[in-house]
Structure 1
Amino acid sequence: MSQTRSCFLATAETTLKFLDRPETSRAWDEPSALPEFQVSGLVAHTLSQITNPVVALQNPKPEQETIGLFDHFERAAWTTPDIHNEANTGIRQSSDKMAEKGYEKLFAYAEDCYNQLVTDLPHTASDATGASPTWPHNLSLDDYLRTRIMEMVVHSDDVAQTLGIAAPTFAPEAYDLTYWILTRLAAARHGHSAVIAAMARGERATGSITAF
């Protein structure tokens, strides 16, 4: 099994253990740290990074073109700051729909999906592809899982900020991958000089270098 697939499973395990806690249940219907997202929707969206790969493996879309990892981000409408555009609104709506399962059923479903992936990923072809349900294109399966790892790391931090607790500690490989993706996206959005200055020359930093 590839290092990416092993990293994904480890990240998913950490995410499940972190999210399934009394603080999450108590705050279920409260606003989250993300605008327009309740805790329930944010948690459901984070767990979808574990459940959607099962859907992807069970329902491959060979008719769709397979593109590169950063080509995917260039095409993604949700990466813009406009949280009310069609893509971001759709993400919140689908997350809220998923959260309607309720806390216990949602976590049971996510746990079942995780266990399914533990069984399936080691035996999935190296040239397999993956895509979330609404995507018009595929990624290689490992690239798809890389996007899921980044999402889990970022959104777990969102949940931690929401609940006022410490963020989980992921494996170094998960952070390395997340920083690689976010740095590449930040440079594409703000330029290499802005990113370098913000990270190495604070006196020349000109402002935010957020990736999204």
Structure 2
Amino acid sequence: MSTPARDAYACGADVAVELVTSDQVSAAWDEPSVLPGMSVGELAAHLARSVLQVEWYLDGPLDQGASPVTAEGYYADLSGTSDMSSSLNTGVRARSAQTASPGVTALVEQLVGTRERLRGRLGREPADRRLTVRHQGRTLLLDEYLRTRCVEFAVHTEDLALSLRSDVRAPSQTVAAAVEVLVGAARLRHGDGEVLHALTRRERDTTDALRVL
């Protein structure tokens, strides 16, 4: 089945895979990225995980009793996003380093294979398919999880491209999905009044309401 979330995800995944598997990434693998504390290889692995994790979690255990959260709720509930030493950010760096540790050749092989399998699989999964994100313990409908991955594609495709001095960016469809999720998360976290100030009266924006990540 085709849905807006699956279409936006597919577009973003294709661009991310093309960038991660490029010769530029291989050549700069051990160099620092634009993100503090992460090499180009680790950032590439972090971006790749938004493809790899979809398959991992579809095949992984499901918390049958959990109430699914939305993509907006998934991000609204995150804490420590701006603190480099938070458990959230140290966990991201650790998982990225682990995924990068076998090296660029292994990552590319794993990423390409997973992307090809997902092309058919995502079209077959039903609308009510759920999955559980193991390291966070949150359960989402598949389409809602794919919307969270659109955020990751939009943000980290640009991060990796800037690290390589490349002008590659996530597709507009993927970026639009990401903006929708992040604005929704900001509304849940701070309320519509604060988001309105952030959009129209920055001098009254006392909570930095649009900063979600």
TM-score, normalised with respect to structure 1:
0.87
Task: Render the CA deviation track for 1:137-192: whole Å, top value 9, x for unaligned.
Answer: 2011100010011101110000111111103351x321211111222334545922
Aligned to 1:152: 153
For 1:168 and 1:90, the matched residues in 2 are separated by 25
Q: State the one-letter code of the partner of 1:72.
A: Y
Aligned to 2:75: 73
For 2:185 and 2:58, the matched residues in 1 are separated by 27
For 1:88 and 1:189, the matched residues in 2 are separated by 22
CA contact (8 A) 1:186 1:195 kept: no
TM-score, normalised with respect to structure 2:
0.87
Aligned to 1:167: 168
Aligned to 1:12: 13
For the residue of structure 1 that corresponds to 2:158, the secondary structure is helix
For 1:127 and 1:62, the matched residues in 2 are separated by 14
Matches within 5 A, 1:40-55: 40-55=41-56
Q: Which runs of 5+ in 2 are unaligned?
A: none
For the residue of structure 2 that corresponds to 1:12, the secondary structure is helix
Query: CA, structure 1 residues 73+114, in 2 after alignment: closer, same or farther (shift >3 Å)?
Result: same
Size of the aligned set, in residue pairs, is 206
Query: CA, structure 1 residues 157+68, in 2 after alignment: closer, same or farther (shift >3 Å)?
Result: same
Aligned to 1:192: 195
For the residue of structure 1 that corresponds to 2:167, the secondary structure is coil
For 2:84 and 2:197, the matched residues in 1 are separated by 24
Shift of 1:72: 1.9
Indicate yes or no: 2:186 matched with 1:183.
Answer: no
Aligned to 2:89: 88
Q: State the one-letter code of the partner of 2:173.
A: E
Shift of 1:64: 4.8
For the residue of structure 2 that corresponds to 1:138, the secondary structure is strand
For 1:131 and 1:194, the matched residues in 2 are separated by 35
Root-mean-square deviation over aligned CA pairs: 2.2
Query: CA, structure 1 residues 206+73, in 2 after alignment: closer, same or farther (shift >3 Å)?
Result: closer
For 1:64 and 1:136, the matched residues in 2 are separated by 12
